[in-house]
Amino acid sequence: MDPLGLSCKETTDKEHDAWLKKATAEQGIKPVAVLPVEWLVEGIADAANAIGNMFETGISAQGVALTAVALIPGKVADKALKPVIKKLDDVGPKVDGVVTNRKTPEDFIEHNGKNHQKAAAGEYNAHQLMTEKGYQPLGKTDGNYKPGETGIDGVYHHSGPPPKTSIVEAKYNKARLSKTSTGKQMSDEWITDKRLQKAGLNERERRKILKGIEKGNGSVEKLLVRNKTDGSLVVKMLDKDAKIIVKTPGL
């Protein structure tokens, strides 16, 4: 398939020379002695690199257009891609939305007060990140912030290998873990059967989690997902006292 309509059909040397002369006359550019096959070889290398980068940082309309430019030589690309770039700009937000799927505090105007809006954005974005990485929400975990409710933000299961359960706390920017009468938020002693039950987990799930925490066998991990003001998410693993151990690989 060639969704952008930019693929080249095979041409003879005569047809290629005629095309170059016509393009030169129209654009006032200096001809380049490069065959279509060579364009393709060089272009594929550039495009492959660009596509790889987009998968790392998120696909964007502008990125798609720039990748396409790598496959067309010289100033001819400007004319050939002008309508394509305009069309991609029109659909850009939809393309980006599929990849990033993040929200800001301003998206939660239904909540009164900046702190509530920030908390809602943090919880929503943390949930999106976990599900994007293949983690299945357990119990009542849905990424929806509920003002006035305290407890565990989210519990997820990942089939692995190895299989594991993740208990997640979402924080926006510099918000800190709270200190409570039952210990510091996200510490082992803070994660009680009562809080797990409130999070919607059944008895078997709760028993398995508490046993895993007690044994420290790695079947349960506690994650702090911090939503930075620039939209990035930083995930860190917490120890038994809710102190940061390390940035979590793969998240």
pLDDT digit string (tens) for 222-249?
A: 999 999 999 999 999 999 999 999 766 5
Cβ-Cβ contacts under 8 Å for 42 (sequence gap 6 or more): none
Q: Which of 219, 93, 102 is nearest to 165 (CA)?
A: 219
3-state class of 223 per DSSP?
A: strand
Percent of the chain with pLDDT over 90: 55
Compute the distance between CA of residue 51 and CA of residue 58 in angstroms, rounded to an integer.
10
Domain coordinates in residue numbering, the chain: 13-100, 105-247
Predicted confidence at residue 87, as pLDDT, reads 45
The pTM assigned to this predicted structure is 0.61
What CATH class does 105-247 carry? alpha beta
Q: Mean pLDDT score of the chain, rounded to an integer?
A: 76
Q: pLDDT tens digit string along 28-72?
A: 544 444 444 443 434 444 544 544 444 444 444 444 444 444 444
pLDDT tens per residue across span 144-156: 999 999 999 999 9
